[in-house]
Structure 1
Amino acid sequence: MKTYTDQLGNQFAFETAPKRIISLVPSQTELLFDLGLEESIIGITKFCVHPYHLKSTKKIIGGTKKVHYEKIRLLQPDIIIANKEENTLEIVEELQKICPVWVTNIVTIEDNLQMISDFGQLFNKRTEAQKWIDKTNFALADFQHFIKDKEVQKVAYFIWANPYMVAGGDTFINELLKLNKFENIYDNNPKYEGRYPEVVVQKMRIQGDPDLVLLSSEPFPFKDEHAFELGRHTHHAKTIFVDGEMFSWYGSRVFKAFDYFKKLHENL
C-alpha cells in the first residue's frame, strides 16, 4: 500500500495505480492524455475539448460546476481528479461518497510542475511526467530569455462581460501575466478584492489606465463591440483578443503556451 498526498494535503492510500479515472477539469484531462493515460480515462466533462476525440469515446458526466452523480457512480471510478478553483467543495464532498477525490490547487508554475509529478507517481507514469516537466522547464527558461529585455506593460485581463469581470491576484492567469511582463492593474487593487472581481470599467483610467486590454476567448465569447466599449474607457490602450486556454490552462498546456506568448509579443 502506497500513500500519496494531493495539493490540499489530503492523503490517499492505493495498493496499485488507479485504473479507472474520471476528470472534472479540461486542462487536467489533456494532461492525463499526454501522460499516456487515454485508456484509463472513463469519464470527462462536456468542456474537455482537448484532445477532441475524447468527447466521442468517453462518458460525459456533466460540467465542471454541475455533475451527474449517478452517471459517475455507475462508471465505478477508482479515482476522480478535481481542482479547487474549478469544482465546488459541495461537489467534491458528494463525490467522496463514491470514491477518492484528488484535488489539485494551481496558482504558480511550480504548483503546475508538482501536479505533473504527482500524476506521474500516482498513475505510475513517472518517465512520461518527467519528460513533460523537463520540456516545460526548458521552454520556460527559453521564454524568460526572450522576455528579459521587453518593457513592462500595464494590462487588464477580462474574463466576462455583463457584468465585466477580470482576473485579479492569486490566480494562475495573474502568474502567467507576470511571466509576460504584464502588470495586472487589478492585482492587489484594494477596491477590487477577490480572485475574479467584478469591475466598473468606466473607472479604468483612474484605477490603472492599462496599456493593453486583454479579452480572453474563454469563458466568455467577447465580440468587437466589447473591445470598442472597453477601449473607450482608457487613454490609449490597445485591445487584444487572446487565447484563454494559453493563459488559464495548466498541465501540459503550459509547455504549449510559451510559443503562443512569443507570437503575442511579436504582434504587439
Structure 2
Amino acid sequence: MVPLTVTDQINRRVAVPFPPKRIISLVPSQTELLFDLGLGERVVGVTKFCIHPAEARKTAAVVGGTKNFDFEKIETLKPDLIIGNKEENYREGIEQLAAQYPVWMSDISNLDEALDMIRRVGLITGRKEKADALAADIATSFTSLETSATSTSAAYFIWRKPYMVAAPSTFIDDLLRRAGFQNSFAHLSRYPEVTAEQLRQMAPQQILLSSEPYPFGEKHIAEFQVLCPSAQIRIVDGEMFSWYGSRLRHSAAYLRSLISAG
C-alpha cells in the first residue's frame, strides 16, 4: 500500500497506508459512518459504545471505551489506521497510539466541520465519491430546514446530578440554532454545570432532556416542571443532536419534527 499523507482536523500530518485495510474506530458516530461507507469488513476494532450498526461489536473487536483504550488488544489487531476525535477521546491515550500507528483525528463543533470530516474520512479510506455524495445529501437536507431562527429560548440538558447543559461552541448548540432555538446558557462554557437556581433565573421556554449521555426519560419531566412551571419540557433523541457522522442524514427531518411539534 502506498502511504497517503493527509492533514487531520487538529492539523496533524498523518501518513495513512492507502487504502487502509485494518481500521479501528474510537468514536461511535464515526464507526457508523465507516459501515455506511461500505467499510465494515475493514473495521477490526470499535469501542463498547459503538452501538450502530448493531453488528459492529460482533464483527469487530471491542477495544475498550472512548476514554480508556485496551492497548494490548489494539496491538493484537495490528491496525493500519485509527480514527478518533479530540473531544470524545483522551489526549494521553491518543498520543500513545499515535506513537505506533497512523491516527487520524476529527474535531467537530458545527455542521460544516462534520461534513468536512465525512469527506476527509471518505478520502483516506478510498470511499471519496460515496462520502462526497453523503455529505452533499446532508447539506441539502439542512438547507431546506426552515425555522423561525432564534425565536425560542431553550436549555439542552446532557446530565443530571449535577445538572449539565450543552452551551456555546458545541455541535449540539449549532444544531439547536439551526432548529430555531436560542440557547439559554449561551453565555457559559461549552458543557457547564448549572444549578436549579440558574435554570429558574434563565426561565427557558423549552427544556430539552437528551436521551444521552444521561438517559433522561419521562420520569424526569416532573422534576424540571417544578423548577420551570411555564416551560415546555421534552425528551429528545440525543443521537440526532450529537452524532456527527452518517446519522446526520436523519437529523434535519428530526429537527423539523421538533419545530412542528413545538
Tell me if TM exceeds 0.5: yes
Quick one: which amino acid aligns to residue 115 of structure 2? L
Q: What's the CA shift string for 1:123-146, capped at 9, x where partnerless?
A: 111110111011112111111xx3
Q: 1:165 to 1:30 in 2, by over 3 A?
A: same
Q: 1:130 aligns with which of 117, 129, 132?
A: 132
TM-fit CA distance, 1:241 = 0.1
User: Counterparts of 1:14 and 1:167 in 2: how far apart (Å)?
Assistant: 34
* Structure-to-structure mapping, 1:151-230, within 5 angstroms: 152-189=151-188, 194-206=189-201, 208-230=202-224
Q: Is the 8 A contact 1:205 1:235 kept in 2?
A: no
In the alignment, structure 1 residue 262 sits paired with structure 2 residue 217: no
After TM superposition, the score normalised by the length of structure 1 is: 0.93
User: Counterparts of 2:126 and 2:219 in 1: how far apart (Å)?
Assistant: 49
In the alignment, structure 1 residue 112 sits paired with structure 2 residue 114: yes
Match of 2:73 in 1: 71
TM-fit CA distance, 1:66 = 1.1
Q: 1:27 aligns with which of 29, 34, 58?
A: 29
User: Counterparts of 1:247 and 1:103 in 2: how far apart (Å)?
Assistant: 21
Match of 1:234 in 2: 228
- Secondary structure of 1:188's counterpart equals coil
TM-fit CA distance, 1:151 = 6.8
Quick one: which amino acid aligns to residue 4 of structure 2? K
- Secondary structure of 2:144's counterpart equals helix
Q: Is the 8 A contact 2:149 2:178 kept in 1?
A: no
- Secondary structure of 1:22's counterpart equals strand
In the alignment, structure 1 residue 101 sits paired with structure 2 residue 120: no
- Secondary structure of 1:196's counterpart equals coil
Q: 1:128 to 1:202 in 2, by over 3 A?
A: same
TM-fit CA distance, 1:221 = 1.3
User: Counterparts of 1:70 and 1:115 in 2: how far apart (Å)?
Assistant: 28
After TM superposition, the score normalised by the length of structure 2 is: 0.95
Taking only aligned residues, the RMSD between alpha carbons, in angstroms, comes to 1.4
Unpaired runs of 5+ residues, structure 2, are none
Q: What's the CA shift string for 1:69-107, capped at 9, x where partnerless?
A: 100010000011110110010110111233111110001
Which stretch of the first structure deviates more once superposed, 215-224 or 27-36?
Answer: 215-224
In the alignment, structure 1 residue 252 sits paired with structure 2 residue 254: no
Q: Is the 8 A contact 2:149 2:181 kept in 1?
A: no
TM-fit CA distance, 1:223 = 3.4
User: Counterparts of 1:94 and 1:15 in 2: how far apart (Å)?
Assistant: 19
Q: Is the 8 A contact 2:25 2:84 kept in 1?
A: yes
Match of 2:42 in 1: 40
TM-fit CA distance, 1:224 = 3.6
Q: Is the 8 A contact 1:44 1:61 kept in 2?
A: yes
Which stretch of the first structure deviates more once superposed, 90-99 or 172-181?
Answer: 90-99
Structure 1 outlier segments of 4+, above 3 Å: none
Q: What's the CA shift string for 1:12-46, capped at 9, x where partnerless?
A: 12352221100000000011111111111000011
- Secondary structure of 1:13's counterpart equals strand
Which stretch of the first structure deviates more once superposed, 225-234 or 106-115?
Answer: 225-234
User: Counterparts of 1:225 and 1:249 in 2: how far apart (Å)?
Assistant: 25
TM-fit CA distance, 1:226 = 2.6
Q: Is the 8 A contact 2:16 2:81 kept in 1?
A: no
Quick one: which amino acid aligns to residue 81 of structure 2? I
Q: Is the 8 A contact 2:14 2:103 kept in 1?
A: no
Q: Is the 8 A contact 2:17 2:80 kept in 1?
A: no
Q: 1:101 to 1:14 in 2, by over 3 A?
A: closer
Quick one: which amino acid aligns to residue 28 of structure 1? Q
